[in-house]
């Protein structure tokens, strides 16, 4: 399930448009510590340094629109698996950002 939240300008004010791909009820994005990474190497470095972390976090990556900073889902999951982490739900955040909920196994 992917949740898209898009700010829209309406009559000189901002409104939020919420759309869910599955058509089910609106799902809240979890309030987790967010770690923004801009490259696969940056992700691997963070995972290596935080191997003892026990709580879930949200890894933030850029989507395909940000070509120079884009990490594919497979790249993220591969790096997570190599460092003993597991990927959970993913969310589209603010247009070009994707949040991956991850936990250490």
- Which pLDDT band, with edges at 50, 70 and 90, does 54 fall under? confident
In a domain, 66, yes or no: yes
The answer to whether the Cα torsion of 31, 35, 40, 46 is positive or negative is negative
CB 27, CB 2: distance < 8 Å: no
Number of domains in the chain: 1
pLDDT digits (tens, 9 = 90+) for 57-99: 999 998 888 778 889 889 999 999 999 999 998 888 887 899 9
In a domain, 11, yes or no: no
Tokens of 59: 């890894």
> Which residue segment(s) compose the domain that 58 sits in?
31-104
Percent of the chain with pLDDT over 90: 35
Which one of 6-10, 21-25, 56-60, 66-70 scores highest in mean pLDDT?
A: 56-60
Percent of the chain with pLDDT over 70: 74
Instruction: Check which CATH number belongs to the domain holding 91 and give it.
Output: 3.40.50.150
| HSE toward the beta carbon, residue 91, CA cutoff 13 A | 22
In a domain, 76, yes or no: yes
DSSP code at position 76: H
In a domain, 6, yes or no: no
pLDDT reading at 50 higher than 70: yes
CA 56 to chain CA centroid, Å, is: 12
In a domain, 86, yes or no: yes
In a domain, 10, yes or no: no
């Amino acid at each position: 399930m992917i949740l898209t939240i898009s700010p829209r300008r309406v009559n000189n004010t901002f409104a939020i448009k919420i759309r869910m791909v599955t058509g089910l009820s609106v799902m809240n994005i979890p309030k987790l510590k967010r770690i923004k990474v801009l490259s696969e190497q940056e992700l691997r470095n963070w995972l290596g340094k935080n191997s003892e972390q026990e709580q879930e976090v949200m890894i933030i990556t850029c989507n395909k629109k940000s070509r120079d900073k884009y990490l594919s889902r497979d790249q993220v999951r591969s790096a997570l698996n190599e460092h003993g982490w597991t990927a959970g739900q993913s969310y589209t955040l603010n247009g070009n950002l994707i949040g991956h909920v991850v936990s250490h196994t």
